[in-house]
Amino acid sequence: MKIGLALESTFDCDAGVQQYFKGLGRYLLSKGHDVKFIVPYSSEKGEFKGRIYSVGIVFNPPINTTSIPLGLYSSGTQLRRILDREKFDVIHVGTPFSPFSLGTVVKHARCPVVSTYMILSKNVHQKNLHRFLSSILVKSGRYIDAHIAPNEMTATEAEFVVPGSYRIIPHGMDISTLSKKVRPIAKFSQKTHVLLYLGRLEHRKGVHLLVSAMPSVLKKVPDAHLVIAGDGPMREELEKMTQELGIKKHVSFEGYIDEKDKPSYYAAASVCVFPAIYGECFGMVLIESLASGKIPIAFANQGYASVLHRIPDALVPVGDTQALSERIVHFLLDEKHRRQVEKTCRDEANRYSWETVGNSILSVYRSLLKRT
């Protein structure tokens, strides 16, 4: 099959949406399919060089609730030429989308279009805006032939924003790299109780709440050390927080880390902590943590709860920093329980391997091609 994978935002980062489509692309290529990416912007370097069409610009409007910029396809003529040249069998897009980006792709597509719903709205106003852009301006129901959502909860919002009949297929992850035994990153290998946060430093990710919980953790576990791997608009504020709370020496800011370095960071962790407070429809970092055999202690937002419902001990109420610190302390000090839950984590990760998830997505593609 010749498959086009189209994104709403930049290709040049490893946020959840980008990880999903890059991972899907790797899986499809491994199965012998021809894959091209259509994106608003990319430097067109790296492992997919020669397979990327960059046909627009990216920007970050005030309504955006993430630090990842949105995209604008700047040339409808160029896009039509790409579609005419490639003659895709299937195009797979992320939703929701605007009429100025992926809306253009689906309107000009001459093949079946599959969508995966990728977000959860912060509030009803944002949800209504997504519906207006995707379904009222674009009238997406005319152009999308099959709909995917990662869980039932996301499908409920998706049916309102981009109406259709949704098939539940979780997001996939290449768990093989993370499940291999690797050496912990050297600078933290001698520390006994390491907490790892990996992700963007922005408000909705709740890193500030994790930092504010650290003094309570340190009272019970004085040698605890928090590693914050990632970057974003809140970094300066978070660094200032560590000074004001008197915990600077117990927190390391690593900045952005490359994908190839992730396994050694996970290997150094005693537990992982992901305190996102809203806007998560799934949680790729949770799967990374599971595959690494590390417990992802997380706020029970709707998306994270859908992933970790079989590991309830990993979940704490959203925004409850006392409960968060208590759960961290419990798993740091109760090694027997931690080892038991870590085994469950490894078993759970297998549900999200690309071999499992990718095969389900291919079955959607094949069923559409049989109709044409």
C-beta neighbour count of 253 within 10 angstroms? 16
**SS3 for 230?**
strand
CA–CA distance, 333 with 352 (Å, rounded to integer): 29
Q: How many domains does the chain have?
A: 2
Question: Is the domain of 186 the same as that of 321?
Answer: yes
The predicted structure's pLDDT at residue 161: 87
Question: Is the domain of 363 the same as that of 314?
Answer: no
CA distances to 8, 11, 121, 200 from 280, rounded to whole Å, are: 17, 19, 8, 13
The predicted structure's pLDDT at residue 62: 55
Question: Is the domain of 106 the same as that of 211?
Answer: no
The predicted structure's pLDDT at residue 10: 79
Are 71 and 10 a contacting pair, CB within 8 Å?
Answer: yes
What pTM was computed for the model?
0.81
The low-confidence residues of the chain, meaning pLDDT below 50, are none
Are 113 and 89 a contacting pair, CB within 8 Å?
Answer: no
Question: Is the domain of 335 the same as that of 198?
Answer: yes
Q: CATH number, domain at 33? A: 3.40.50.2000
Question: Is the domain of 33 the same as that of 143?
Answer: yes
Instruction: Quote the domain boundaries for residue 364.
Output: 2-172+353-371
CA–CA distance, 237 with 28 (Å, rounded to integer): 41
